[in-house]
Amino acid sequence: MIQDKAIPTDIVARIRTQAAECGFVACGIARADAAPRTAARLREWLDEGRHGSMIWMEERAEQRGSPAGLWSEVRSVIALGMSYAPAADPLALAGVGDRGRISVYAQGGDYHDVVKKALKRLGRWLAQESGCDLKVFVDTAPVMEKPLAEAAGLGWQGKHTNLVSRDHGSWLFLGAIYTTLDLAPDRAGRDTCGSCDACQRACPTDAFPAPYRLDARRCISYLTIEHAGPIPHDLREGIGNRIYGCDDCLAVCPWNKFAATAAANRAFAARAELAAPRLVDLIALDDAAFREVFRGSPIKRIGRNRMVRNALIAAGNSGDAALVAPVRAACGDADPVVAEAAAWALAKLGDVPG
């Protein structure tokens, strides 16, 4: 593209100012080729099968491996972070048998919508100011946001493989703008995990074969969100009462003590009905009720059957006799995965059907 206007000499400073006005608490610049090891690491992870049933990770691996693999004209990447630092302790419901635990990021508004809207606003401004071409991405595109955010100085990928920020801990939603502009890059983030292994020790299902390596097949977030079939029996007890995602490895990170909840976008504030939902209510959901309860939430995309499956496993782990009757009723569910989870839960609760 031939740019039709002069690029302001202070464009990077103005990008940062505009990003803050759009709701981003972190903004950094990286060259498009600033994370050269990403493709090889992704390929190794895929070859080991650690992505489980996430076939979409493999199908677009070449595009995911580098910004240029997705868009050949990209010259710079603007990495952005929006805070969702929780006001309450993410681990507070551990062991509360009759309640389900939903990952902090999904208790409020859908981050896909909130972050994408802010990215588009910033992108429109940048295109008008510079005449550049650009593309905006949040999560659903084949973009490796975390290594790019590290390259742009937003933080570093910790031993739990998520981004850690000195200022915002582990509570950042990431977005990226690919642009044809040649922008001065920031210094890459420096790993300061040191000898700390709190995130590794916190994982209830041993999903980390080594620091900085994740086996999604054992990860509760993968099992409760991405995995559609029956959850392996040997991992069910470790799931506890987690019904959508898991915050344990994030929540124990010492860097979270610097994450100010005041910086969190209010759109992500926990909805009352999602902060501590009752398992008995979730088990009884039909499709229409599920859509109503989770309207405007990222949870909606997993569908009713997967949520009820998760709630049944949590019920089986609860030791709560009050859940026997609703669990027994779910044994006749039309979905075989749900029915199997109900039978397992009933056996765990000491009331085998028949």
As annotated, the active-site residues are: 139
Please check whether residue 212 is in contact with residue 161, taking contact to mean a CB–CB distance below 8 angstroms: yes
Main-chain phi, psi angles of 342, to 5 degrees: -65, -45
**To which H or E segment does residue 242 belong?**
strand 242-244
* Sheet strand arrangement including 26-31: 26-31, 76-83, 172-179, 134-137
Provide the angle, in degrees to the nearest 10, between the axes of the packed helices 336-348 and 303-318. Answer: 10
Backbone φ and ψ of 261, nearest 5°:
-65, -25
Question: Other CB atoms closer than 10 Å to residue 158's CB: what's the count?
Answer: 26
> Which H, E and C letters describe 22-68, residue by residue?
CCCCEEEEEECCCCCCHHHHHHHHHHCCCCCCCHHHHHCHHHHHCHH
Contact 330, 308 (CB under 8 A): yes
